[in-house]
């Protein structure tokens, strides 16, 4: 009986100690701080990162004197948020940025599928805002933790939600995602300016878009380039190619007996460094018919240059720092690649013959002549080359690498370039 009584006393003592002792460590019990969000639902997005030892952070504090191994398991400080794109692969981030610059919300959602959930949420919210679906965009943006969105991206998202504009695209140091967001906002702004007949603003916005696209780290999008080129053409028709618009220029008066050739010579006599052709005067003033004494003409004072982007297969014609015209092009096929470099426009020829070294010239109109209706030769470091711009009898070759090394355009496009590109104008060909 004594043994039974002693055993009962020991059991009772054990139960008292168990009841009154400290609770087991929740981490040791298998609980995690990420099993629920503040609203009690399953965690879809990461909560704000906690400072070590901060109360109410959703993660247990590290006790004083704890081993270093335990301290290393604490969440990172708030200054290094987990939201940054380093959580996703660079390739995935780049593809998502490309979709953001060019695509629909559905395309952005598909491209962002491989990113961290909170990263995808930001891009989807922005895409819906730019598309005009503000209610959807606000609902998604409300799920984001403000302090975890990088500052520049937060400002761009806010601009999209509020319908605000941006100054330009391609600011120094911009990430691919920031650049894509800027471009998406600028595209919306360009279309709005065009619809409102604010042609100088629309022209500048489309110009910035085309430049940004060719300099972006993601692959150029031919459909976007075509769409923005069409918008540029509509805007510039009423701006750079309208003599009544406020573009930089010099006014001259037509004198008795004047022709465009004599006006060009008189202008260049006082500005020998300028590059000017009669076609540029004609196009800028919408001339048709005979000049009249006393007639006022305007001559563009902005310098002309051309950039050919071989990767995008697109040509930009600049007046100053603004794209005044743009066209798709075809380039040299493998083994006959168009060489990048700095060139100068020379030898503009209508209805050109075609010749290859060691062969007889093939006249214009011969089925074997691939040059189309115009030829603009290139010089390099003062010497004539075999390369140039020309038209084509094969419109399907535009956008492809199909030529013998020259840059080809549709005949109607090369005729326009021929009209407004002065001999001596610089040409940059680049990848």
Instruction: Give the residue among 314, 343, 317, 340 at the shortest CA–CA distance from 329.
Output: 314
CB 191 within 8 A of CB 230: no
Tell me the CA end-to-end span of the chain in Å, nearest whole number: 98
Q: Exactly one of 102, 138, 380, 406 is catalytic; which is it?
A: 406
Q: Which helix (H) or strand (E) holds 51?
A: none
As given in the structure block, the two tokens for residue 284 are 């800028």
The conformation of residue 146, written as its DSSP 8-state character, comes to: G
The three-state secondary structure class of 23 is coil
DSSP string computed for 300-345: E-SPEEEEEETTTTEEEEEETTEEEEEEE-BEEPTTSPPPPEEEEE
Specify whether 406 is catalytic: yes
3-state SS of 231-282 is: HHHHHHHCCCCCCCCCCCEEEEECCCCCCHHHHHHHHHHHCCCCCCCHHHHH
Specify whether 277 is catalytic: no
324 CA to centre of own chain: 18
CB 429 within 8 A of CB 407: yes
CA distances from 168 to 215, 395, 425 (A): 14, 34, 27
Instruction: Give the residue among 111, 130, 107 at the shortest CA–CA distance from 119.
Output: 111
Tell me how many degrees the CA angle 373-378-379 measures, rounded to the nearest 5: 150
Q: Exactly one of 102, 138, 380, 390 is catalytic; which is it?
A: 390
Q: What positions carry a catalytic annotation?
A: 390, 406
């Amino acid at each position: 009986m004594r043994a039974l009584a002693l055993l009962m006393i020991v059991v009772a003592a054990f139960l008292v100690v168990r009841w009154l002792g400290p609770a087991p460590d929740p981490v040791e019990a298998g609980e995690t701080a990420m099993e629920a969000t503040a609203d009690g639902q399953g965690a879809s997005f990461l909560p704000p990162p906690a400072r070590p030892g901060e109360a109410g952070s959703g993660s247990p504090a590290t006790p004083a004197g704890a081993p270093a191994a335990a301290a290393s398991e604490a969440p990172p400080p708030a200054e290094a948020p987990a939201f940054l794109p380093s959580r996703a692969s660079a390739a995935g981030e780049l593809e998502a940025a490309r979709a953001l610059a060019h695509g629909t919300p559905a395309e952005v959602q598909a491209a962002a599928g491989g990113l961290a959930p909170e990263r995808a949420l930001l891009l989807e919210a922005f895409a819906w805002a730019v598309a005009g679906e503000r209610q959807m965009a606000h609902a998604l943006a409300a799920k984001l933790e403000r302090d975890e969105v990088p500052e520049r991206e937060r400002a761009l998202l806010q601009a999209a939600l509020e319908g605000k504009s941006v100054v330009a695209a391609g600011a120094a140091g911009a990430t691919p995602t920031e650049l894509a967001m800027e471009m998406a906002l600028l595209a919306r702004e360009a279309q709005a300016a065009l619809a409102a007949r604010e042609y100088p603003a629309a022209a500048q916005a489309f110009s910035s878009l085309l430049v940004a696209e060719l300099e972006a780290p993601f692959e150029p999008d031919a459909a976007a380039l075509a769409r923005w080129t069409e918008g540029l053409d509509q805007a510039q028709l009423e701006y750079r190619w309208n003599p009544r618009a406020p573009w930089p220029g010099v006014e001259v008066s037509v004198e008795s007996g004047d022709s465009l050739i004599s006006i060009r010579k008189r202008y260049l006599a006082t500005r020998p460094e300028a590059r000017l052709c009669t076609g540029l005067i004609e196009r800028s003033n919408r001339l048709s018919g005979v000049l009249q004494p006393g007639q006022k003409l305007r001559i563009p004072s902005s310098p002309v240059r051309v950039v050919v982007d071989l990767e995008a297969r697109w040509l930009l014609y600049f007046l100053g720092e603004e794209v005044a015209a743009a066209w798709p092009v075809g380039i040299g096929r493998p083994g006959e690649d168009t060489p990048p470099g700095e060139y100068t426009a020379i030898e503009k020829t209508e209805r050109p013959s075609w010749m290859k070294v060691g062969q007889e010239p093939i006249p214009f109109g011969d089925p074997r002549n691939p040059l189309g209706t115009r030829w603009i030769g290139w010089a390099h470091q003062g010497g004539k080359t075999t390369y140039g711009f020309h038209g084509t009898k094969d419109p399907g070759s535009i956008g492809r690498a199909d030529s013998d090394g020259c840059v080809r355009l549709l005949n109607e496009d090369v005729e326009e370039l021929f009209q407004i590109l002065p001999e001596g104008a610089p040409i940059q060909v680049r990848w």
